């Protein structure tokens, strides 16, 4: 079977929110709790998307300033609507941040780095805008194992079409493993790198609650699904339905794990 084209482009906020955004919003406070940053810090959210992490920073970290940078106009519009002016939102890319150097205490990125085309350039930019000894931190889904809602999808897809394995995020994005995150941050010249596994529950009321977000066609798995002919899509649906752990009431309880990483820009603050 010829391999269908899969798009990683995230442009429309609504399909993203239905598919992954609701779980992103659960993970963001867990990540911030792990960081345990002091109040009154200046924050930069790289690839802020629909605003999940920026909103959690405002709600939980008592920041002095929050800036969100995002390349997608569609995501920025949704972020602006949800944040209501509580953060500064700017269109820009991770490898050319529109922020002055050495002005940010905490540079963070949620569920983005594996999609960045030039990761070394992005990490260099994150280090550039951080103050000396400032925090640089991120988290990515554990696609290879316990990002279960996506892993179950690809496991079923590969049963029907072995060539689909090459499209699995766990295969395509090696950064979703802790060793790769460690190597990337150490290779960027950052210091004190730490890695942690963070988990949230992803509970679905029934199979349709699980399945419907994949029909949005945005992101690797949904794009693959919508590239299939109707009969192949229906076949995959039934294989998935049979394989998912479903309770007697019809609910589906899964887990989403992310690998979190944090490090520091070398140097010391002038006022330290």
| pLDDT tens digits, one per residue of 143-198 | 999 999 999 999 999 999 999 999 999 999 999 999 999 999 999 999 999 999 99
Check if the beta carbon of residue 37 is closer than 8 Å to that of residue 245: no
Residue 2 has pLDDT above 80, yes or no: no
From CA 107, how far away is CA 85, in angstroms rounded? Answer: 20
| pLDDT tens digits, one per residue of 98-151 | 999 999 999 999 999 998 999 999 999 999 999 999 999 999 999 999 999 999
Can you give the pLDDT at residue 271?
46
| pLDDT tens digits, one per residue of 226-254 | 999 999 999 999 999 999 999 999 999 99
Residue 95 has pLDDT above 90, yes or no: yes
Q: How confident is the model at residue 8 (pLDDT cuts 50, 70, 90)?
A: low
Residue 13 has pLDDT above 50, yes or no: no
Q: How far is CA 157 from CA 146, 183, 234, in A?
A: 17, 31, 12
Check if the beta carbon of residue 58 is closer than 8 Å to that of residue 83: yes
CA 162 to chain centre: 26
Closest CA relative to residue 114, chosen from 264, 259, 263, 262: 259
Torsion angle defined by CA atoms of residues 24, 26, 29 and 30, in that order, rounded to the nearest 10 degrees = -100
- Between 15-19, 32-36, 52-56, 182-186, the lowest mean confidence (pLDDT) is in 15-19
From CA 258, how far away is CA 149, in angstroms rounded? Answer: 13
Give me the helices (H) in 17-133, please: 22-35, 52-60, 73-83, 119-129
Q: How confident is the model at residue 9 (pLDDT cuts 50, 70, 90)?
A: low
Q: How confident is the model at residue 1 (pLDDT cuts 50, 70, 90)?
A: very low
Residue 42 has pLDDT above 70, yes or no: yes
Round to the nearest angstrom and report the end-to-end CA distance of the chain. Answer: 61
| pLDDT tens digits, one per residue of 255-270 | 999 999 999 999 876 5
């Amino acid at each position: 079977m010829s391999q269908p084209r899969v798009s990683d482009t995230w442009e429309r906020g609504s399909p993203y929110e239905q598919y992954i955004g609701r779980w992103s919003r659960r993970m963001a406070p867990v990540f911030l709790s792990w960081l345990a940053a002091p109040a009154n810090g200046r924050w930069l959210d790289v690839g802020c998307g629909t605003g999940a992490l920026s909103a959690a920073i405002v709600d939980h970290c008592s920041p002095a300033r929050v800036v969100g940078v995002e390349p997608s106009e569609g995501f920025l519009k949704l972020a602006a609507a949800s944040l209501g002016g509580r953060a500064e939102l700017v269109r820009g890319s991770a490898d050319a941040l529109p922020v002055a150097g050495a002005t940010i205490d905490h540079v963070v990125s949620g569920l983005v780095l594996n999609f960045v085309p030039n990761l070394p350039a992005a990490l260099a930019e994150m280090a550039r805008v951080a103050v000396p000894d400032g925090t640089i931190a991120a988290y990515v889904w554990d696609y290879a194992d316990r990002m279960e809602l996506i892993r179950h999808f690809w496991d079923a897809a590969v049963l029907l079409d072995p060539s689909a394995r090459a499209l699995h995020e766990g295969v395509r994005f090696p950064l979703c493993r802790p060793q790769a995150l460690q190597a990337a941050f150490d290779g960027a010249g950052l210091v004190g790198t730490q890695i942690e596994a963070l988990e949230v529950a992803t509970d679905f009321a029934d199979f349709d609650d699980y399945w419907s977000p994949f029909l949005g066609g945005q992101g690797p798995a949904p794009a693959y699904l919508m590239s299939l002919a109707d009969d192949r899509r229906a076949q995959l649906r039934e294989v998935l339905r049979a394989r998912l752990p479903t309770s007697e009431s019809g609910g589906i309880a899964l887990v989403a794990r992310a690998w979190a990483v944090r490090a520091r820009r070398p140097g010391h603050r002038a006022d330290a």
